[in-house]
Structure 1
Amino acid sequence: MKWLLKKYPFNAEQTVNILGEFGPLVAMFIINATHGIIAGTWALIIATLISVVAMLWVLKRLPMFPLIASGVTIAFGIMTLLTGDAMWIQIKVTIFNIMFAVFLFVGLWMGKNFFKYIFGKTFHYTKEGWDKFTWSFAWFFVLTAVLNEAVRLGFAKDEMYNILGFTMDGVNVWILFKICLIMPMSGLYAWWLTQQMQRYRIDTDTSSAPAE
């Protein structure tokens, strides 16, 4: 068990965040396939609420990013329940990511770095490093928004498709795209970008210049 804990790459907060994003999508995928979009959306909302409670129980607090994302998910899920249209839950990703990217870009333009404000007490990087980190993530949010729209528009929610031998509707194709492509890609990109940031790290003990 100790060996497994040493090899496990995520801390408690990261684990809760991953499960909080992954769990509701899996629940929606299964229930949508067996009982339809309304039941699937209920599963998404309930699983999201459970993830928020679990986050509060494990971390004794509610981190801002997951809390905002959960709130937006629930709001757009309610719109899907009211209209019976899965489009609302699908475009949530597009709207949220574009708005956040614009927020980051505007912050950089105004000389305000959002990520530095949030994480500056935990991670110590040069201004150039923080700006590159924020700039890169802003463009990544734009990319994922574009990919989300491509899949949403490319796979009609009422049509059936054969994906790797499995028959599923357009909504489940979209969910599968989120689970199998966007989530792993986001994790790998965040890990890669964090590694790149080491060249801008400030040694707080010796106050040395960032490593080249």
Structure 2
Amino acid sequence: MTERPGPGWHKTALELGPVAAFFAGYVLLKDQTFTIAGTAYDGFIVVTALFVPLILISTAALWRLTGRLSHMQIVTAVLVTVFGGLSVWLNDERFFKMKPTLIYLLFASVLFFGLYRGRSYLAMVLSEAMPLTPAGWMKLTRRMAWFFVALAVANEAIWRTMSTDAWVNFKTFGLPVAMFAFFIAQSGLMQAHTPPPTEGPD
């Protein structure tokens, strides 16, 4: 399907809105307990139960707005549904906290597999927005793959050793900041491997 142009702020709101709503819901409900059908659920589980349909609705709306979804958006929606659903069904927050680990390990595995085949799958996703030479894409892909591994390790370390508050803050603010810092740190690579502009005919 051909991608349809849409208002930039709509797309940004649909991508970031569910995460912001999860954080706001957690802050409001984290100290509360809800008894449903005789079972007590804490605020984290209730917010997770609300987050799953919200991410599905926002993903569907994003597809309707733009006419396409990235592989990352599809995988994220599926894993949120599976592991969020498990957390709610089993009343165990650990499943939802594991979800970022699996997402980042999956992305790292895909990028490493592409590198093994001598290809940059990252270039297939970002080449239109960020032109680089083939050598530059291979270097950036290798760094991105290891960065995903580092994020997976960080997520595991934080949810297993720190409080739920710390994990929610890490997921809401730490991960986006880390991603932004990573790309800022690659500015030298991008400058060195930006292809020269093609000259048109005189």
Report the 3-state secondary structure (helix = DSSP H, G, I; strand = E; otherwise coil) of the residue aligned with 1:69: helix
Distance 1:144 1:173 in 2: 15
Q: State the shift of 1:142 in Å.
A: 0.9
Report the 3-state secondary structure (helix = DSSP H, G, I; strand = E; otherwise coil) of the residue aligned with 2:182: helix
Aligned: 1:98 with 2:91: no
Identity, in percent, stands at 22
Which of 149, 169, 172 is the matching residue for 1:176? Answer: 169
Which of 14, 17, 28 is the matching residue for 2:15? Answer: 17
Q: What's 2:134 paired with?
A: 127
Report the 3-state secondary structure (helix = DSSP H, G, I; strand = E; otherwise coil) of the residue aligned with 1:201: coil
Distance 2:153 2:141 in 1: 19
Q: Deviations over 1:145-181 (max 9, x none)?
A: 11111111112xxxxxxxxxxxxxx323211121232
Unaligned runs of 5+ in 2: 1-7, 34-42
Q: State the shift of 1:119 in Å.
A: 2.8
CA contact (8 A) 1:41 1:77 kept: yes
Report the 3-state secondary structure (helix = DSSP H, G, I; strand = E; otherwise coil) of the residue aligned with 1:18: helix
CA contact (8 A) 2:75 2:103 kept: no
Q: TM-score, normalised by structure 1?
A: 0.74
Flag the 1:205–1:23 CA change in 2: closer, same or farther, 3 A: farther
Unaligned runs of 5+ in 1: 1-9, 156-169, 208-212
Q: State the shift of 1:11 in Å.
A: 6.6
Higher mean alpha-carbon deviation, 82-91 vs 33-42, is at 33-42
CA contact (8 A) 2:159 2:167 kept: yes
Q: State the shift of 1:44 in Å.
A: 1.8
Higher mean alpha-carbon deviation, 124-133 vs 46-55, is at 46-55
- RMSD between aligned residues: 2.6
Q: What's 1:27 paired with?
A: 25
Q: What's 1:112 paired with?
A: 119
CA contact (8 A) 2:112 2:142 kept: yes
The aligned runs of 1:59-74 (5 Å cut-off) are 59-74=66-81
Q: What's 1:136 paired with?
A: 143
Flag the 1:11–1:116 CA change in 2: closer, same or farther, 3 A: farther
Q: What's 1:84 paired with?
A: 91
Flag the 1:120–1:24 CA change in 2: closer, same or farther, 3 A: same
Which of 164, 188, 191 is the matching residue for 1:198? Answer: 191
Q: Deviations over 1:106-138 (max 9, x none)?
A: 210221211112233443211110011111111
Report the 3-state secondary structure (helix = DSSP H, G, I; strand = E; otherwise coil) of the residue aligned with 1:71: helix
Number of aligned residues: 184
Report the 3-state secondary structure (helix = DSSP H, G, I; strand = E; otherwise coil) of the residue aligned with 1:129: helix
Distance 2:198 2:65 in 1: 31
Q: TM-score, normalised by structure 2?
A: 0.77
